[in-house]
Structures are given as structure tokens and as C-alpha cells.
Amino acid sequence: MRISFLLHNAFGIGGTIRTTFNLAQALAERHEVEIISILRHREEPNFSLDPRVRVRALVDLRTERDDPRHRRPPKVFPAAEYRFDQYSALTDERIANCLAGLDSDVVIGTRPGLNVHLALQGPRHAVLVGQEHLTLDNHPPGLRNELRRVYPRLDALTTVTHADADAYRRKMRLPGVRVEALPNSVPPPALPPADSSAKIVVAAGRLVRVKRYDLLIRSFARVAAERPDWQLRIYGRGEEREKLRALINELGLYNNVFLMGPAPAMEAEWVKGSIGASTSSFEPFGMTLVEAMRCGLPVVSTDCPHGPGEIITPGKDGRLVPVGDQHALSEALLDLIQNDELRRTMSEAALANSRRFDPVPIIEQAEALFTELHEAKASGRRAKPPLRVRVGARLVNRGHLVRDAAFAAAVSTMRTMRRGNR
């Protein structure tokens, strides 16, 4: 198949870019794959990419930023989408022309605004797939209304969590649209895993308000008071850097907490630590959680919507604490810091449990979905949605149950309880 991805800016840094690159280069093993970057601001992408994946940009900001069309607001890209200010009449024109000329079998949008373009202008011969890397509940009402209007023109919609897929099925009227959970994948690290001996807690991500690094730093003040031999290293860049630096100085943590800046290869930094930490108030998935676990780090995370609860098994490979609870966060960190055996046990579990996010099973799921939809469209029919069974509050594809140990365990427990009640 010929597969095309529409990506906001393939030359930036972010989780959507990284996961799109991972999926594209895995599919390139058997398919012809390209990434269409709407914007471009530098010569080469920040992330490495398999040379078999073609990358082309529609608007080069280095030479076209002052184009008069780029100063006029877009008419197709939805105004309620938070990237709206970066789009224009020029991007409207280039995206429309690009989609009109595509001969791809599958075209995949990677954010709501691009999914709107895809639904309205995508080639009708192709399978049109919208990806959601945020969550339905996080979209403003105006955007949800726009998506409700145009998403029925898509063939499929994928979300990164089962919880968000359930939200789309319950709250949006999308007749005939396949809604599937397709988690982000993380390749196995090239380095040996952490050995749990380093006295380092590692966190990574954009230094922005929603990540609540201020909470993490304040929580670590207690850790440093009880265990001054431990460090907290925070990787990333963003608008909160100076505020966080001031907080570190205010709390006298300059010998324990370090803002490390961005790291192009985070796995080399994860393996230097023994515990991963995430304090977000909102996390659509939680790529850094999986990355840390794949490097052998148990993770202490806030139990924010939606990702952490589907990644971490509390007490087995990490800890989940209430959002914003500084005391609970300190307690969870100290619990792992002060118990070497527990930390080693959780490290082993983190390595084992995180393998479900390996690209192989996730790529197989994506490839099966795209192939089924392509064959159905070629024959003039819609692909039937898979049979789902309810596990707790979630609807899960019966064929995927065996891939998820948590769901399989839940089903086993329910069956045992039913037998006991007979």
C-alpha cells in the first residue's frame, strides 16, 4: 500500500512527531510511506528517520513566512484548534492542492485540524484515517462541534488510549467510522537497562505548566531532606524554565535538582537513573512513562487522564498518586528510594510490562486496520467493526484481549467470580 501521513511540522520536537516517525518507518518495511509536513523551519528533522520514508514540506517558513497569503487566517483549519495561529490561507491552499493530487491508498491525519482537512478534502478513493493524540474531553466545545460535523466523513479514527476511544464512541455520533485504540509504540532501547543502583530520579518533557514540574520540585524538597544523596534531573525545554530555576533556588535545592535541558537521545539519560517521575495534570498518553519503563525504571506518576492508568500497574511496575498531591508524591518517591529490593523488583516488572508497547504488535494492529479498510473500500463496502467485549468500564476488541495482560487478568478474575456465584 501507499501510505501518507499529514504532520504539523516534522522538523520540530514532540511526542506526536516521534510516534509518527516510529509508525512510518515500521510500515516502510512493507509499504511505500511518506510524511507530508505542513510546515518546515529547518533543513533536517530533529529525529532520525529511515531513509525509505520520504519527507516533503508544503510551506517552508524560512522563505515563505512573509508571503501575503500566510498573513491571512485559514478558512478550513478550525479556529478552535490551538495551532490555528500557525495556519493561514497559504496552508489552506497547499493542503488542498496536496490532497487533490495524492494517489495514496491510505492517508492519515495526526491532529484535529489536519483531520478536518482530510475529512473535507481527502481523496475519496483512499482510506481516510484521523489520529487523535490529545483527548476528546480536552478539546474546547467549538472544536468538538466541528469534529462532530466532519468526522463522519472519515473511514476510521484512532486514539492512543482505550478510555478516549470509549469517549468518542459514547459522546460523538460517528456512524460507519471505525474508532480504535492504537497506543503509541516505543522501540526497545539500544542500551542495557538501568540497574537500579544510581541515586537519580529522572523526568522528561516540555517545561510547561500542564507538566507540573513545580509540584515535582516541591515534592523533592522532602526527598532531599531525608536522602540528600539523591538527585532529580529534569530534561526538556520550555516557557517554565526560569520559574523552575527560581523555585529550585528558593528551596535551596541547587545541589539536588538539575534542569538538564533537552536531550536528543533520552534513552541514554533514562538508563542513568533508577526511578522515572511524571507529575502532569493531563496526559493524553504518556510517552515518557513508556520510555522510562522500557529502560528499566519504575515510574511514579500522577493518575491524570488518560494515559498513566493504562500504562502503569500500581504496586507492580510503579506508583500512581492523585493529581496535585505533593505529600503523596513525596511518599511514593521515598518508598522506592528507601527500599532497594522493591526498586529492583519493580524495575524488572517495568521492563517486562512495557514490552506490550513494542512496535511489532502495535504495527501489526495498525497494518491490519489499514489493510482491512483498504480492501473494504476497494470493494465498495465498509469494513465491519470488530466484536467487542466489556472489561470493567471498557469495551475491548475481543481479538486484542490476549495482547493486554491487564485486560486478560481482569477477564480471568471476572470468570472466577462468576463460577463462584453459581
Q: Summarize pLDDT for 327-374 with one digit per residue, the tens.
A: 999 999 999 999 999 999 999 999 999 999 988 888 899 999 999 999
* Environment class of 412 (CB within 10 Å of its CB; exposed 0-12, middle 13-18, buried 19+): exposed
The residue among 357, 374, 403 that closes a domain is: 357
Average pLDDT, the chain: 90
- Confidence class of residue 422 from pLDDT cuts 50, 70 and 90? very low
Spatial contact of 296 and 347, defined as CB atoms under 8 Å apart: yes
Are residues 170 and 222 both part of a single domain? no
Are residues 60 and 155 both part of a single domain? yes
Q: Once rounded to an integer, what is the mean pLDDT over residues 164-191?
A: 92
Are residues 221 and 176 both part of a single domain? no
Residue 396 within a domain:
no
Q: Once rounded to an integer, what is the mean pLDDT over residues 77-84?
A: 96
Lowest mean pLDDT among 65-79, 366-380, 404-418: 404-418
pLDDT at 13: 81
Place of cell 511540522: 9
The cell numbers describing 369, all together, are 486496520
The residue among 327, 357, 387 that closes a domain is: 357
- Confidence class of residue 283 from pLDDT cuts 50, 70 and 90? confident
The residue among 314, 330, 357 that closes a domain is: 357
Residue 394 within a domain:
no
Are residues 169 and 229 both part of a single domain? no
pLDDT at 383: 56
Residue 188 within a domain:
no
Dihedral sign for Cα 374, 377, 379, 385, please.
Answer: positive
pLDDT digits (tens, 9 = 90+) for 90-131: 999 999 999 999 999 999 999 999 999 999 999 999 999 999
pLDDT at 360: 87
- Confidence class of residue 385 from pLDDT cuts 50, 70 and 90? low
> Which DSSP string do the residues of 286-309 spell out, in sequence order?
-HHHHHHHHTT--EEEE--SBSHH
* Environment class of 46 (CB within 10 Å of its CB; exposed 0-12, middle 13-18, buried 19+): middle
Are residues 234 and 291 both part of a single domain? yes
Residue 156 within a domain:
yes
111 compared with 47, residue with greater pLDDT: 111
Residue 388 within a domain:
no
- Three-class secondary structure of residue 49 per DSSP: coil
Domain that residue 128 falls in: 2-181
* Count: domains in the chain: 2
| Closest of 396, 382, 316, 393 to residue 349, by C-alpha | 316
pLDDT at 388: 44
pLDDT digits (tens, 9 = 90+) for 291-337: 999 999 999 999 998 889 999 999 999 999 999 999 999 999 999 99
| Closest of 116, 178, 176 to residue 143, by C-alpha | 116
Residue 239 within a domain:
yes
Q: Once rounded to an integer, what is the mean pLDDT over residues 384-396?
A: 45
Are residues 32 and 167 both part of a single domain? yes
pLDDT digits (tens, 9 = 90+) for 203-253: 999 999 999 999 999 999 999 999 999 999 999 999 999 999 999 999 999
Are residues 37 and 172 both part of a single domain? yes
Q: Please state, in angstroms and rounded to a whole number, the distance separating the CA atoms of residues 375 and 102.
A: 18
Decide if pLDDT at 410 tops 60.
Answer: no
Are residues 13 and 144 both part of a single domain? yes
Are residues 24 and 85 both part of a single domain? yes
Residue 405 within a domain:
no
Whole-model pTM: value is: 0.79
Residues above pLDDT 70, as percent of the chain: 90
Q: Once rounded to an integer, what is the mean pLDDT over residues 188-216?
A: 95
Residue 238 within a domain:
yes
Within 10 Å of residue 43's Cβ, how many Cβ atoms?
7
Are residues 106 and 212 both part of a single domain? no
Are residues 173 and 252 both part of a single domain? no
- Confidence class of residue 403 from pLDDT cuts 50, 70 and 90? very low
Which residues make beta-bridge pairs with 301?
278, 320
Decide if pLDDT at 5 tops 50.
Answer: yes
What's the CATH code of the domain at 126?
Answer: 3.40.50.2000
Are residues 14 and 162 both part of a single domain? yes
Decide if pLDDT at 401 tops 50.
Answer: no
